[in-house]
Structure 1
Amino acid sequence: MGIKAKRQDQMSFPKASKEKVDHRTIVAQKKRTAMRQRILDATMKVCSIQENSLPKIDDIIETARISKGGFYRYFESASDALEQLGKQTADEFSQAILPVYNVLDDPVKRACVGTMLILRRAARDPEWAGYLLRANLTDHESKLLKFIEQDMEQGIRTGQFAIADVQAASEFVMGINHTAIRVILSRKITQMDAYIDTTVAFLLHAMGTRQDAIKDVLAWSVEYFRSIDADGKW
């Protein structure tokens, strides 16, 4: 009995190295992230097609080519997927535009460039634009909306804007963007730059910007976008 116990004590079993365990964990996490993104991408595609209705889970799983059980492993409902997609889209868009938007100090230039960035992206990416029409991004882009409100407050202090209610005005700005995006998607616009300029001019005029300042900033924006859009992203 003592010999048997001794032999058992001497026996050793191979253990998975920490490196192998970590590798398996990393691979599994990558697979989960990829599947989650696959569902979100499918949700965005369905949203861009079904503009006036909440996306159905059956449509999402058909587009993603997964089972319903696979969907529920990541999201509780289509609304949950839509909300998560809204957060992701807001984060990605904010990160993309801030390097060329947040470097500007003048509130009129910031309002001009911010609007142009959204509309130019919408014109080049209809699927993304179609999703924006469905998602209430004002609930998720608090950082971006905060910048808009700060720009308005600065413009009021400098006398460049005449705004009575900053919160209402920031919502109005988002409303203009949504309306313009809807027009961009619903009809063929032959002079897209001219349409975007008209939208920006209307927005700035509504905020009390002088006509000569509007004319100047639109002329300035041509060279600015030429300098930041070398790769055709915007």
Structure 2
Amino acid sequence: MPPLTFIPTEREDHRSVAARKKREAMRTRILRAIMDLYSDPAKISTSIEDVAREAEISRGTFYKHFTSLDEALIAVGREVTDQMTQDMLPIYDVVSDPVNRVSTGLRLFLTRALTDHRWAAFVLRAELVAQESVLLTYVMKDLRHGAHEGLMEFDNLQAAVDSVMGATVEGIRTILLKRTKDPAQYIDSTIRITLRGLAVEKRRAIKATETSRELVDALPQSVRQTWRAGT
């Protein structure tokens, strides 16, 4: 006689699905609360108690999903940057030239900061790039490709990544704090200077800056509307 095999009933399957959806909904609720708190410039520091109060949950519920505030913050950072990277793909993935890809990626982040201040404020206070994030993978790949093709030059990949990400974060800060009277010109300059710092030839850096402007202008309206809604 063959061994008995447990076959879940439809009722039990439904319970499992319902429980998973409930967990996912609660996790999303916690992450949204964290993003709201960290994007508020009036909040100097944030605690688990603050998150629990904002999400209207108990500390115990928080700990069912995350072991610490740092772990939850990393999760939010990863989701924010990964979602941003997904928004970029309609135009980013059709670009093969690594110089144009770096230029386009940087422009997309700075352009979003112009309209989505909640997102920009969160990026400045939280960890922009979590380990193994989609964004970090793309940046490293593009820089490696650029160096391999002789279009960029640097002696340390991590330093090159930090240069690009540093320009991104500080660019977002300048835009959010309105430290520039001409954001469009500032974004162009940031891109050119960053590319030149990677030893991209001057004319190529200027052309890549123009190309990324054209590509971002073609960004789907659905994505722009999402940014304006601050979601």
TM (normalized to structure 1)? 0.81
For these two proteins, the number of residue pairs brought into alignment is: 218
Query: Which of 1 and 2 has higher RCO (CA within 8 Å, sep 6+)?
Result: 2
Partner residue in 2 for 1:60: 51
- Distance in 2 (alpha carbons) for counterparts of 1:222 and 1:177: 16
Deviation of the 1:32 alpha carbon: 1.7
Pick aligned residue for 1:183 from 137, 149, 174: 174
Deviations 1:125-182 (A, max 9, x none): 2222222223334332444333323322332333322322222111111111111111
**Which residue does the alignment assign to 1:18?**
9
For residues 189 and 107 of structure 2, what CA distance do their matches in structure 1 show? 11
Distance 1:220 1:96 in 2: 18
CA offsets 1:59-101 (integer angstroms, 9 cap, x no match): 2122112222322222222222112222322332333323422
Deviates more, 1:220-229 or 1:119-128: 220-229
Query: Which residue does the alignment assign to 1:205?
Result: 196
SS at match of 1:164: coil
1:97 equivalent in alignment to 2:88 = yes
The 1-side partners of 2:15 and 2:141 are apart by 47
- Decide which structure has the larger Cα Rg and report it: 1
Q: Could you tell me which of 140, 143, 147 is aligned with 1:149?
A: 140
CA contact (8 A) 1:112 1:200 kept: yes
TM-score normalized by the length of structure 2: 0.82
Question: Residue 3 of structure 2 aligns with which residue?
Answer: none
Cα RMSD (Å): 2.4
**Which residue of 184, 195, 208 maps to 1:217?**
208
Taking only the aligned residue pairs, the percentage that are identical comes to 35
The 1:142/1:76 distance shift into structure 2, 3 A limit, reads closer
CA distance in structure 2 between the partners assigned to 1:141 and 1:51 by the alignment: 31
Deviation of the 1:217 alpha carbon: 2.0
1:58-97 mapped onto 2 (5 Å cutoff): 58-97=49-88
Query: 1:121 offset after TM fit, Å?
Result: 1.9
